[in-house]
Structure 1
Amino acid sequence: MDTLQGILNGMMREAISPQTAAVAIAVIGLNIHLGFTGLLNFGQAGFMLLGAYGMAISVWHGLPFALGILLGLAAALIFALVLGVPTLKLRGDYLAIVTISAAEILRYIGRSSLLSDFTGAAQGIPGSQYREPFTNLSIFGSGSFTLIPFNYADVADGAAWVRIIGWLLLVALIVALVLVLRGRAGLAGGAKIGAATVISVVGVFLLFFLFPVPGQSTGVNGWWVRVVAWTLVAISTFVVFLLVRSPWGRLLRGVREDEDAIRSLGKNVFSIKMQALVIGGLFGAIGGMIYVLPASTQPDSMGRTLTFFCYTALLIGGAATIFGPVLGAVIFYTARIGIKYTLSAYVPSDWMNNQQTEQFSYIVVGVALMLIVIFRPQGILGNKRELRFDV
């Protein structure tokens, strides 16, 4: 039981980590590209890299932190314009090839030794060179704390039956939330939003009751960066919710399903695609900044593999949904770390070492993704009617 509790606690730490939140923000941007507009952008990691380097280089060379954020966003904006002008007339796999190539070009530029004074070349920029202005903004002070001090250990001395009942309740809440979000609970409008909010709040408190996560108040991976990261996830989700419910959001869906029909109505399809590419790219840049705050800015950490992780999270959660990107990112990272910890705990080291368990976790996640694409291509929260693409 204690081993299982340790595995679940590790999964909880991964679920609320700032890098999981950063990927969730990048997937929200990718959802605008693919889910709502039908753009096969395989270069989202390029936007993340530009946002991260724009902020890190600026602060490293003495510029204010706020200006560094603006420069990172400006770099992503310029990249979206330069990438979009010649390529947005392409469709399908042609656009995918161009975008992944552009992202790889950026990664190799970041690795170039000619720019080592700015990018740090292949070694990148250590987090200590640009993290201090962010940590100085912390309102949590020094020391450490657990977000919810009252947890399972305070009830019956943490007996097994307390945890089992809590886990069952948590599973029930997750099922209820999925049913509400997918419209299976007979609720609509404000009632649906209210029910989802109540279930989510109760579920979050139950999560931290079952899996308490202690941490530094203001550290490399402390509560300050976690709170900022997940606050940005909430803001990004709300912004996308407003955008897709607007007339502009309906235009995105129209372009995705039949851009010739939208063009026949006198709308500028190229302009709509460009706007979607820019907005989604800016979300990617914000995700890149958060991604490197608890780590270092290194070009290979934001290569094509990260883009594929973003696509995996999007497909798991469900494209063209509001909460799908966040749910998919959390499930992807927690499932991977859960598999890794389970193998490390129960499989002898002479059968499988730590590096092999890491590799095997990606294999299992890949197989799971294939099964999802085959048996539920719309993802957990998705709708099959949203899978119509004019590519």
Structure 2
Amino acid sequence: MDFGAIFGNTAAYLFSPITIAYALAATGLAVHFGYAGLLNFGMAGFMAIGGYGYAISVLTFGVPWWVGMLIGLAGGAVFGLFLGIPTLRLRADYLAIATIAAAEIVRLLFLTQLFDKWTNGAEGLYGYSAGFRSSNPFPPGTYGFGPWTYTEVELWDRVFGLIMLAIAILLVWALMRSPWGRVLKGIREDEDAVRSLGKNVFAYKMQALVVGGIIGAMGGIVFVLPSAAVPGSYSTSLTFFLWTVLLLGGAATVFGPTLGAVLFWMLFAFLGNLLPQLAQHGFLPISGPQAETIRWILAGVALMLVVIFRPQGILGDKREMTFVK
């Protein structure tokens, strides 16, 4: 077996745009669930709004790339408002159902022929990165070493994503140490007690939903920058992967979502390269494609073990997680 290729392909996911995008979206989910206690299962919808908002703005309306990103972020905020107004007074389980439905509505709207002129249906959108590429500060060439060798285009995708991730982490860190963040944590623990102190719980929840939604929309933009915006990418499985990332790293932590995204994608890459080779060399009595699907089973088992034995995640504090009391 080619262990060099296996470990090289695994290490490449350390700075992959998809890893950075998941880290951003999971950071937004941490604001929703880890700090505000909102059981949001519709983060895929926020990512879709951000990615499509950026792509449609640049392709259809010809705005500069940075304006398109601002539009995508504004779309995430507006979606948070429209989602929160009718749902934030629901109990946690009903809120989860409503957010799943909202994310699916968004995905199906991008598929419908009514908006085909702007979304291009199931084929999705592509060819919107010229403006972003023209802002690349790196001269043509090859950068890095080993599995982290990139062209100037690939390097700019990663550097920009890391800058956005650093801004999101700094924002969440500052907010959760502010009086606003302390009220939000109080709502997570006992919203009736916070309400008895005269705080508008609904307003705080709405603000948390919007802030986390904007960060999730930025994750959606980073997600589509290197390739294309395709509706099939925003299925419910995307949200469940984000929950795996969040619970793995730690829901009520600032750096947990980033650690969870790195571990999640490096583990997926490792198993995706190792298992087919094991099958090819006769160590597994199944075919290569079948071996690759085993990683989904292993990911599910890993998530079960994390929730059972360390529900606060790798970096989390068990005392902060209400669902483990």
TM class by shorter chain equals over 0.9
Counterparts in 2 of 1:50 and 1:349: CA distance versus 1, 3 Å: farther
How far off is 1:9 after superposition?
1.3
Q: Which residue of 2 aligns with 1:380?
A: 314
Q: Which residue of 2 aligns with 1:42?
A: 41
Q: For the residues of structure 2 that align with 1:139 and 1:33, how far apart are their CA atoms?
A: 35
- Specify the code of the residue in structure 2 equivalent to 1:144: T
Q: Which residue of 2 aligns with 1:239?
A: 171
Q: Which residue of 2 aligns with 1:278?
A: 210
- Specify the code of the residue in structure 1 equivalent to 2:313: G
Which 5+ residue runs of structure 1 have no aligned equivalent? 150-210
User: 1:214 aligned to 2:146?
Assistant: no
Percent of aligned pairs sharing the same letter: 48
Q: For the residues of structure 1 that align with 2:268 and 2:245, how far apart are their CA atoms?
A: 12
Q: For the residues of structure 2 that align with 1:74 and 1:324, how far apart are their CA atoms?
A: 26
Q: Which residue of 2 aligns with 1:58?
A: 57
Q: For the residues of structure 1 that align with 2:163 and 2:299, how far apart are their CA atoms?
A: 27
1:365 to 284, 296, 299: 299
Residues 279-298 of structure 1: CA distance to partner in whole angstroms, max 9, x if unpaired?
A: 00000100000001112100
Residues 9-51 of structure 1: CA distance to partner in whole angstroms, max 9, x if unpaired?
A: 1111112101110110000000000000100000001000000
Would the aligned equivalents of 1:77 and 1:281 in 2 still touch at CA under 8 Å? yes
Which 5+ residue runs of structure 2 have no aligned equivalent? none
Greater shift in the superposed pair: 100-109 or 358-367: 358-367
How far off is 1:76 after superposition?
1.3
How far off is 1:143 after superposition?
2.5
Greater shift in the superposed pair: 267-276 or 57-66: 57-66
Q: For the residues of structure 2 that align with 1:67 and 1:105, how far apart are their CA atoms?
A: 26
Runs of 4 or more off by more than 3 Å in structure 1? 349-355
Would the aligned equivalents of 1:48 and 1:284 in 2 still touch at CA under 8 Å? yes
1:7-18 aligned within 5 A: 7-18=6-17
For 1:343, what is the secondary structure of its paired residue?
Answer: helix
Q: For the residues of structure 2 that align with 1:96 and 1:296, how far apart are their CA atoms?
A: 28
- Specify the code of the residue in structure 1 equivalent to 2:37: G
How far off is 1:352 after superposition?
4.0
Would the aligned equivalents of 2:276 and 2:292 in 1 still touch at CA under 8 Å? no
For 1:296, what is the secondary structure of its paired residue?
Answer: coil
Greater shift in the superposed pair: 83-92 or 61-70: 61-70
2:266 to 311, 330, 334: 334
Would the aligned equivalents of 2:279 and 2:288 in 1 still touch at CA under 8 Å? no
User: What TM-score do the two structures reach when normalised by structure 1?
Assistant: 0.79
Would the aligned equivalents of 1:337 and 1:361 in 2 still touch at CA under 8 Å? no
Q: Which residue of 2 aligns with 1:31?
A: 30
Q: For the residues of structure 2 that align with 1:234 and 1:355, how far apart are their CA atoms?
A: 37
Q: Which residue of 2 aligns with 1:169?
A: none
- Specify the code of the residue in structure 2 equivalent to 1:214: T
How far off is 1:275 after superposition?
0.3
For 1:347, what is the secondary structure of its paired residue?
Answer: helix
Would the aligned equivalents of 1:243 and 1:249 in 2 still touch at CA under 8 Å? yes
1:158-177 aligned within 5 A: none
How far off is 1:347 after superposition?
2.1
Q: How many residues align?
A: 321
- Specify the code of the residue in structure 2 equivalent to 1:335: L
Would the aligned equivalents of 1:258 and 1:389 in 2 still touch at CA under 8 Å? no
Q: Which residue of 2 aligns with 1:182?
A: none
How far off is 1:212 after superposition?
4.1
Q: Which residue of 2 aligns with 1:187?
A: none
User: What TM-score do the two structures reach when normalised by structure 2?
Assistant: 0.95
Q: Which residue of 2 aligns with 1:321?
A: 253
Q: Which residue of 2 aligns with 1:100?
A: 100
